[in-house]
Amino acid sequence: KANQSPLYMTQDRTEMSEDDDDQSPPSDLRSEPPCSSSSSAVDSTPNKSRNCISSSGTMTASQPFPDHVLENVLENVLQFLDSRCDRNSASLVCKSWWKVEALTRSEVFIGNCYALSPARLTQRFKRVRSLVLKGKPRFADFNLMPPDWGANFAPWVSTMAKAYPWLEKVDLKRMFVTDDDLALLAESFPGFKELILVCCEGFGTSGIALVANKCRKLKVLDLIESEVTDDEIDWISCFPEDVTSLESLAFDCVEAPINFKALEGLVGRSPFLRKLRLNRFVSLEELHRLLLGAPQLTCLGTGSFSHDNGAHQSEPEPDYAAAFRACKSVVCLSGFRELMPEYLPAIFPVCANLTSLNFSYANISPDMFKPIIHNCHKLQVFWVCILLDLCLHDSEGPVSELGLQAISEGCRNLESILYFCQRMTNAAVIAMSENCPELTVFRLCIMGRHRPDHVTGKPMDEGFGAIVKNCKKLTRLAVSGLLTDQAFRYMGEYGKLIRTLSVAFAGDSDMALRHVLEGCPRLQKLEIRDSPFGDVALRCGMHRYYNMRFVWMSACSLSKSCCKDVARAMQNLVVEVIGSDDDDDNRDYVETLYMYRSLDGPRKDAPKFVTIL
Amino acid sequence: AKKMINFEATELRLGLPGGSHGGDMAVKNNGKRGFSETIDLKLNLSSTAMDSASEVDLENMKEKVVKPPAKTQVVGWPPVRSFRKNVMSSQKPSTEVATEGTEKTSGSSGATSSASAGAAVAYVKVSMDGAPYLRKIDLKLYKTYHDLSDALSKLFSSFTIGNYGPQGMKDFMNESKLIDLLNGSDYVPTYEDKDGDWMLVGDVPWEMFVDSCKRIRIMKGSEAIGLAPRALEKCKNRS
């Protein structure tokens, strides 16, 4: 039957809502009386030219039938479509569009590596050059998930090694990547250009050395906030001796010394290098030398920004400011890992051009950075970690709400904020909601758990309520402090565009979660910890779990029997229970629930502490 | 402000969290304990009070104990990536980096360490009369009875019996409420100690409790009344 064809079975809809009840075959596969030569040819060989997915992907008919012409035209048009949302929409128009879109999609984004198998990827998309793949859920960053949970890159790289020899770019987030994986990558893709590893682990400098050595066309090697083991390999020396194509090299997270001479040589023979992020093993003097050799940089991570211990200070000190002055293109500055504040003025020459400044790894006080940012007229992105004792104080502690208030008054175009504090007031949050209508990301972490408004003693409901009401563009929200169900009522009702919601130590009852699950129409990612939400609430979301990327609930009040019911009712949902008590007394309690939709059923690589219901 | 119990009138002794009060009980006057949950690394408020520990103003201590704890070790809270914490602790700053709740993992692999960074864990089962399941908690995660009561109330808060509510458990350590609890149908946490005896939680100094507690049972107040005299007797024997 036509509706049994692989075409239907491999169909991957990223915004699945109701199941498609229409199982009828597409018009070109029906056996209708032929009115044109095209249909008859198609009918007589129904699986030959239509099932491109399972065959080589080329047309087998010898004559250019009108349908094929259409597909050629489509191919030429669709190749210009970049946005994956547009491509997803285009692929739903009809089978023909679906097929051509699959042929022309060169960049694939997979938000959850367990949503499908690597085989499904390579079966549908034949000409992939770039893959973005995300693994562990974000709460794994905070030790809420035991190590070795999964998100292994291995099956992906081995499948793609055979299917996509022309692969150019791999961008991974929270994946487990081994040196063997990197070795396979380095050997399998001769045209490989960009490797980006964000929050990854499992590999070391030996894997990096292989990539540096074998990927001769490498343009981007970005290691960002990843755990990289020090295999005591001089990986910088492993880059080829000739002129390189390097445009971006970021290794600020690599906790291992590097061969500076080799780095200097590498930078010297990388004329296209624009982005360089050094680790803390590069001293200020060494930075100076690099800058003199690479004034064309646009993005700089400064390394330690301090002296070598024991470096002789007797020589005239290098003119650091001059080196920075020569870098007329720097717009993005970070690093300062072991900042010596007396040298901070050296960066003054680049302040006027800066659009992004990241002091978050620096031991810096407001007095130190105030004169800097005073000169940063074009600044768009600012990261800083403020030491608590150097803030405004009253008798009870740092007055964090004044800081938030000041930001809201000064930065009217604010789009994204992540703010940690001990305590907060509704008034300050409401002020931000009124002053900053452009907010798309509002993440407030009141570190004292269950803290009410410290002036009024009331819950923080009205503050967060104002945010969801007034910030109409809000797509990401993280809440904290003392919150009752009322706060969630606001979120459900007004959070029309919220895609990501993080909840910790909040809410009074199941009603809170119900409000969110029955509202928030665009919700994709829901992460909840230590909140009193139970089975009743979980059941309220059954109508929408397929439309979400994942739900995480840890240390809530869920029972295994309810989770089993959910798993039974929703066949394409993988329901993982992680790290439950192996205690007989406690067989029904769920410590952590992580559930997500999947086209290929439960994964085969689940460790012992994961139970898939 | 919560009033202090008149001990003579009630014959009940309570080991106040960090409390020192006159009487026969040789409770360690460890004034530091009472403040431990409110110590921010950089706030100097508490340390001043700590220094003048011997004649501590109990009323003031009570105020601080009752407020939500500013610092209790909880896994993954605040939500700062371990990587960032490691980097910060490996810096050689002149002043300490004082993000609230930063565990000083001192270079250990933050990504895999648990909250009880190297210290022994003390898991005990917690059951509540009428609840369908047990929980297990690690007593080493908490520094005071108040922290514990906070945690317990959240553990079982979605499960309501009678007039018990999520805030009700928080008060169990307040003496004025305890009498009501014992007389009423509210719930009281009790624990089984090394000797196999069932005691009222809050009976003994915190560290002693952590060392001797084998499991916790939250029982109806009316059932717990019989415990009080035994608890008192035991304490008298100890001191």
SS3 A590: strand
Show which of residues 58-77 on chain B sit within 8 Å of chain A, judged by CB atoms: 68-70, 72, 74-77
pLDDT at A365 over 70: yes
Tell me if chain A has a CB within 8 Å of the CB of B24: no
Residues of chain B contacting residue A149, judged by C-beta atoms under 8 Å apart: none
Which of B82, B84, B166 is closest, CB to CB, to A143?
B82
Contact A443, A418 (CB under 8 A): yes
A388 to B99: CB separation less than 8 angstroms, yes or no: yes
Q: How far is A580 from chain B (nearest CA, A)?
A: 10
Residue B45's identity, in one-letter code, is: L
Strands A299-302 and A525-529: unpaired
Task: Work out the burial of residue B195: count CB atoms within 10 Å of its CB; fewer than 13 is exposed, 13-18 middle, 19 or more buried.
Answer: exposed
Contacts of A151 (CB under 8 A, 6+ apart): A113, A114, A135, A136, A174, A175, A176
Q: How confident is the model at residue A309 (pLDDT cuts 50, 70, 90)?
A: low
Tell me if chain A has a CB within 8 Å of the CB of B132: yes
SS3 B211: helix
Which of A361, A449, A505 is closest, CB to CB, to B87?
A361
* pLDDT for residue A384: 85
Query: Which one, of A528, A597, A587, lies nearest residue A561 by Cα?
Result: A587
Residues of chain A contacting residue B94, judged by C-beta atoms under 8 Å apart: 363
pLDDT at B182 over 70: no
Cβ count near A363 (within 10 Å): 22
A422 to B158: CB separation less than 8 angstroms, yes or no: no
pLDDT at A599 over 70: yes
Which tokens in the block code for residue B14? 């309570």
- The predicted-structure confidence for A264-288, as pLDDT tens digits, reads as follows 999 999 999 999 999 999 999 999 9
- Alpha-carbon span A246 to A271, nearest angstrom: 8
Residues of chain A contacting residue B80, judged by C-beta atoms under 8 Å apart: 142, 420
* pLDDT for residue B217: 87
Which tokens in the block code for residue B107? 């270079």
Query: A52-59 — which CB contacts under 8 Å span 24+ positions?
Result: A52/A99, A52/A103, A53/A6, A53/A7, A53/A10, A53/A99, A53/A102, A53/A123, A53/A124, A54/A6, A54/A123, A57/A103, A57/A126
B76 to A142: CB separation less than 8 angstroms, yes or no: yes
A448 to B76: CB separation less than 8 angstroms, yes or no: no
Average pLDDT over residues A307-326: 79
Q: How far is A448 from chain B (nearest CA, A)?
A: 5
> From the candidates A143, A360, A396, A552, which should be mutated to test the interface with B, based on the most B CB atoms within 10 A?
A143
ipTM score over 0.95, yes or no:
no
Interior angle at CA A268, CA A265 and CA A271, nearest 5: 140
* pLDDT for residue A312: 55
Q: How confident is the model at residue A224 (pLDDT cuts 50, 70, 90)?
A: very high
- Alpha-carbon span A153 to A161, nearest angstrom: 12
Residues of chain A contacting residue B60, judged by C-beta atoms under 8 Å apart: none
B134 to A589: CB separation less than 8 angstroms, yes or no: yes
Which tokens in the block code for residue B229? 């005299």
Cβ count near A187 (within 10 Å): 13
B98 to A387: CB separation less than 8 angstroms, yes or no: yes
Contacts of A442 (CB under 8 A, 6+ apart): A417, A432, A467, A471, A474, A476, A477, A478
Residue A184's identity, in one-letter code, is: L
* pLDDT for residue A15: 40
* pLDDT for residue A602: 96
* pLDDT for residue B82: 62
B75 to A142: CB separation less than 8 angstroms, yes or no: yes
Interior angle at CA B90, CA B94 and CA B93, nearest 5: 10
Q: How confident is the model at residue A143 (pLDDT cuts 50, 70, 90)?
A: confident
Contacts of A449 (CB under 8 A, 6+ apart): A480, A504, A505, B68, B69, B72, B74, B77
Which of A361, A387, A530 is closest, CB to CB, to B154?
A530
Tell me if chain A has a CB within 8 Å of the CB of B95: yes
Residue with tokens 């490691």: B86
- Alpha-carbon span B85 to A143, nearest angstrom: 12
Distance set, CA A419 to CA A277, A389, A455, A601 (Å): 25, 16, 19, 39
**DSSP-derived secondary structure for A109-169:** EES-TTSS-HHHHHHH-S---EEEEE-S-GGGGGT-S-S----BSHHHHHHHHHH-TT--E
Cβ count near B194 (within 10 Å): 9
Which of A338, A445, A586 is closest, CB to CB, to B78?
A445
Of residues A523 and A402, more confidence is placed in: A523
- Alpha-carbon span B143 to B37, nearest angstrom: 7
Among A28-37, A72-81, B207-216, name the one with the lowest average pLDDT.
A28-37
pLDDT at A301 over 80: yes
Q: Which residue in chain A is spatially nearest to B42 when comparing CA positions?
A: A389
- Alpha-carbon span A558 to A570, nearest angstrom: 17
- Alpha-carbon span A89 to A102, nearest angstrom: 12
- Alpha-carbon span B25 to A568, nearest angstrom: 58
Largest CA distance in chain B: 57
Contact A25, A51 (CB under 8 A): no
Show which of residues 151-210 on chain B sit within 8 Å of chain A, judged by CB atoms: 154, 157-159, 166
* pLDDT for residue A458: 96
Q: How far is B133 from chain A (nearest CA, A)?
A: 6
Q: How far is B214 from chain A (nearest CA, A)?
A: 16
* pLDDT for residue A71: 82
A583 to B113: CB separation less than 8 angstroms, yes or no: no
Contacts of A319 (CB under 8 A, 6+ apart): none
Q: What are phi and psi of A569, to 5 degrees?
A: -75, -25
Q: What are phi and psi of A260, to 5 degrees?
A: -65, -40
Tell me if chain A has a CB within 8 Å of the CB of B124: no
**In which element (H, E) is residue A394 found?**
strand A393-394
Average pLDDT over residues B74-96: 59
Tell me if chain A has a CB within 8 Å of the CB of B107: no
pLDDT at B177 over 80: no
pLDDT at B61 over 60: no
For A2-26, the three-class secondary structure string (H helix, E strand, C coil) is HHHCHHHHCCCCCCCCCCCCCCCCC
Task: Work out the burial of residue A425: count CB atoms within 10 Å of its CB; fewer than 13 is exposed, 13-18 middle, 19 or more buried.
Answer: buried
- The predicted-structure confidence for A384-431, as pLDDT tens digits, reads as follows 876 554 445 565 556 678 888 988 998 899 999 999 888 899 999 999
A505 to B154: CB separation less than 8 angstroms, yes or no: yes
- Alpha-carbon span A472 to A459, nearest angstrom: 23
Of residues A333 and A148, more confidence is placed in: A333
Of A58-62, A534-538, B13-17, B96-100, give the range with the top mean pLDDT: A534-538
* pLDDT for residue A386: 67
Query: Which one, of B196, B191, B184, B166, lies nearest residue B220 by Cα?
Result: B184
From the CA atom positions of chain B, what is the Rg in Å? Answer: 19
- The predicted-structure confidence for A460-478, as pLDDT tens digits, reads as follows 999 999 999 999 999 999 9
Cβ count near B184 (within 10 Å): 15
pLDDT at A2 over 50: no
What sign results for the dihedral spanned by CA atoms B100, B103, B109, B110?
negative
* pLDDT for residue A261: 97
- Alpha-carbon span A572 to A548, nearest angstrom: 12
- pTM of the complete model beyond 0.90: no
pLDDT at B162 over 50: no
Contacts of A362 (CB under 8 A, 6+ apart): A305, A335, A336, A337, A339, A384, A385
Please report, rounded to a whole number, the percentage of residues in chain B having pLDDT higher than 70: 28
Cβ count near B153 (within 10 Å): 21
Q: How confident is the model at residue B85 (pLDDT cuts 50, 70, 90)?
A: low
Q: How far is A284 from chain B (nearest CA, A)?
A: 16
- Alpha-carbon span A499 to A263, nearest angstrom: 42
> From the candidates A557, A563, A584, A592, which should be mutated to test the interface with B, based on the most B CB atoms within 10 A?
A557
Which tokens in the block code for residue B121? 């864990």
* pLDDT for residue A35: 38
Tell me if chain A has a CB within 8 Å of the CB of B45: yes
Residue A398 preceded by cis peptide, ω within 30: no
> From the candidates B77, B99, B143, which should be mutated to test the interface with A, based on the most A CB atoms within 10 A?
B77
Contact B121, B211 (CB under 8 A): no
- The predicted-structure confidence for A149-181, as pLDDT tens digits, reads as follows 999 999 999 999 999 999 999 999 999 999 999
B40 to A397: CB separation less than 8 angstroms, yes or no: yes
pLDDT at A364 over 90: no
Tell me if chain A has a CB within 8 Å of the CB of B136: yes
Average pLDDT over residues A425-454: 94
> From the candidates A223, A361, A363, which should be mutated to test the interface with B, based on the most B CB atoms within 10 A?
A363
Residue A54's identity, in one-letter code, is: S
Q: Mutual orientation of helices A485-494 and A510-518 as an angle, nearest 10°?
A: 0
Q: How far is B164 from chain A (nearest CA, A)?
A: 13
Query: Which one, of A544, A550, A608, A551, lies nearest residue A580 by Cα?
Result: A608
Which of A227, A420, A530 is closest, CB to CB, to B78?
A420
**DSSP-derived secondary structure for A245-288:** ---EEE-TT--S---HHHHHHHHHT-TT--EEEE-TTS-HHHHH
Contact A156, A133 (CB under 8 A): yes
Q: Which residue in chain B is spatially nearest to A555 when comparing CA positions?
A: B155
Q: How far is B122 from chain A (nearest CA, A)?
A: 15
